[in-house]
Amino acid sequence: MQAWAAETAEHAAKGTEAFYATAEFWVAVGLVLILAAVGRTAFRVIALALDDRAEKIKNQIDEASRLAEEAKQLLASYERKKHDATAEAEAIIEHARQEADRLAERTAEDLERALKRREQMAMDRIAQAEVSAIADVRNQAVDVAMQAARQLLTEQVKGKSADALIGAAIKELPEKLH
């Protein structure tokens, strides 16, 4: 303290004040203190704002990473679904082809059976027509034979032989009817 008092006395003798006794010095000191306090507060505010901004950016990057991962998973899921759908469509097409082939074979078999059935029906009709024609020919042959026999009998059998034949025919009639 003596040094301070000696310095103050020395400056008083010269007519000058000590640098620390001047108003400018104390204004400068106050300015430095205010700037230090404001700077410290501003530094904290700026640091806090930068930390908040860094945290927001980090959160956005994390969110973007998470969304990118979800997008990759969705893409993989859709690719699997597409692959499965393609495989299913191919299976359906193959099944449809097999079904069409089976249906074509069945249709061909049905057509073959229908043709055979119609052929058999035609053969049956021909056989029936043949039987009918043979029966008609026999009936006509019988009619012709009976007419010829009647004519022959009427021309050649007369009198007692005709009566004997008629009597024999009448006797045989009950046996032939039953």
The confidence score (pLDDT) of residue 59 equals: 97
What is residue 126's predicted lDDT score, i.e. its pLDDT? 93
Phi–psi pair at 15, nearest 5 degrees: 90, 10
Determine the pLDDT at residue 2.
Answer: 67
126-145 tens-digit pLDDT: 999 999 998 888 888 877 87
Domain ranges across the chain: 2-177
Give yes or no for a contact between 4 and 20, defined as CB atoms under 8 angstroms apart. Answer: no
143 CB-near residues (< 8 Å, 6+ apart): none
CB contact at 8 A, 36 and 47: no
pLDDT of residue 64: 96
Q: Which residues of the chain have pLDDT under 70?
A: 1-16, 153, 156-159, 176-178
CA dist 21 to 13, 14, 125, 157, Å? 14, 14, 150, 194
Which pLDDT value is given to residue 45? 92
Q: What is residue 47's predicted lDDT score, i.e. its pLDDT? A: 92
